[in-house]
Amino acid sequence: MKSDSIDRRDFLVGTAAGASALAWAQTSEAQSRGPAAAATFAATRPAGFTPMTAPGRVVRVAKPGSLRRGGLYPQPEAAAQMVERALKELTGESTLAGAWRKFVHPSDIVGVKVNGLGLRNMASNKEVVYAIVQGVIAAGVPAANIVVYDQFQGFLNATRVQRSELPTGVRTAYHANTEVGAETRAHNQRTAYARVLLGCTAIIGVPLVKDHSLSGFTGALKNMTHGSIKNPEDFHRNRDGLNSRNRHIPELYAHDAIKSRMRLHVMDAFKVLYDRGPQDNPAARVPYERVMVSTDPVALDVIGTEIVDQFRTQNHMRTLERSGRGVRYLEHAATLGLGVADRARIQLVDVAMT
């Protein structure tokens, strides 16, 4: 992997995490040798552990005034409080550690997939990432078993995450579309998934609420798919018909490389980008001051799409559907069993904090 990322030597740090770190390294190396060496891309869950799932349930926590002056970044304490409240509401647990134990086990290797494509002012905020890392540690996962990663170094830098600010042992990584494992197929395309993803047993996604010029919306599903493979550009092209993109995103996510590892999505909705995404567009970037959590990426993206359309309508713009960019891939994702796309079956729990 690239500098400031995990490699075998770098990851084998600390006796407490040694055994699971060795498993990480062996899995990553097996995946890199090819299909004959790695019979499956699926992660192995800790023995006896079944992560919580809540299909169709989305918790949205709002806290007015949680953004700092200037409206670009959240206040650290507010972000931590909002993430904790959202997790407690989703799980029904009374403590932060208890809530996170529903999703991660102390022997897990946990990846936190951020999104820095929109660069500094429209990236996953470090304040949210730090709250997630602290929660995972509270659940008993050693710091050396946690990695925060993205596609490119510039994207990771855009989140403002600093190794020096993370608990000692937590790693950061980027794969640059080159540090990948064995080739495989998703729909009708060949690809390879990032080694940093394959080396984890559990993934927490940190998506944003953004318009996308091609797919209409980019949120929980697309944060994981196009940010974790070697050739995302091939899955933006409509080589096999007008709607192939609507198949590519769900089928990349449904692959064992991603599906078997996903535990939770913590959507950073402190800001919303409602037009000309996914790169930042200050003219269409607005404060929203919310955090949303769900184990269901489809339901979460349905709500995210709804939010984008609300802002588009308020600003006298056509909805995504009327602009010719209806988010059809969510329907296909539902048919693959990835979540609930029917809005009438989605339970949105709104929580207001003061």
Beta-carbon contacts of 131 under 8 Å, excluding residues fewer than 6 positions away, are: 79, 80, 82, 83, 84
CB atoms within 10 A of CB 106: 16
Q: What is the DSSP string of 66-119?
A: -BPTTSSSB-HHHHHHHHHHHHHHHH--SSHHHHHTTT--TT--EEEE---TT-
Calpha distance 150→173 (Å, rounded): 7
Query: Using omega within 30 degrees of 0 as the cis cutoff, is the peptide bond preceding 278 cis?
Result: yes
In this predicted structure, what is the pLDDT of residue 1?
Answer: 52
Please, are residues 58 and 347 in contact by the beta-carbon 8 Å criterion? Answer: yes
277 vs 215: CA distance, rounded Å: 10
Structure tokens at 222: 């697309």
What is the predicted pLDDT for the residue at 118?
Answer: 85
Give the pLDDT of residue 244. 56
For residue 240, what are the contacts with CB-CB under 8 A and spacing of at least 6?
188
Distances (CA, A) of 167 to 8, 16, 104, 144, 164: 20, 15, 18, 9, 8
The DSSP bridge partners found for residue 174 are 150
**DSSP 8-state class, residue 124:** -
Provide the 10 A C-beta neighbour count for residue 77: 11
- The span from the CA of 283 to the CA of 289, in Å, is 18
pLDDT tens, residue order, the chain (354 aa) = 554 444 333 333 332 333 344 344 444 544 445 443 444 799 999 999 999 999 999 999 999 999 998 889 999 999 999 999 999 999 999 999 999 999 999 999 999 999 999 888 999 999 999 999 999 999 999 999 999 999 999 999 999 999 999 999 999 999 998 888 877 877 678 888 999 999 999 999 999 999 988 888 989 999 999 889 888 777 765 554 445 566 888 999 999 999 999 999 999 999 999 998 889 999 999 999 999 999 999 999 999 999 999 999 999 999 988 888 888 889 999 999 999 999 999 999 999 999
Name the DSSP class of 139: T
Cα separation, 247 vs 329, in Å, equals: 6
CA distance 171 to 136: 14
- For residues 330 and 65, is the Cβ–Cβ distance under 8 A? no
Nearest to 276 by CA among 209, 211, 205: 211
Q: Which domains does the chain have, with CATH numbers?
A: 8-40+57-352 (3.40.50.11440)
Number of neighbouring beta carbons within 10 Å of residue 280: 20
Distance between CA atoms of residues 172 and 155, nearest Å: 12
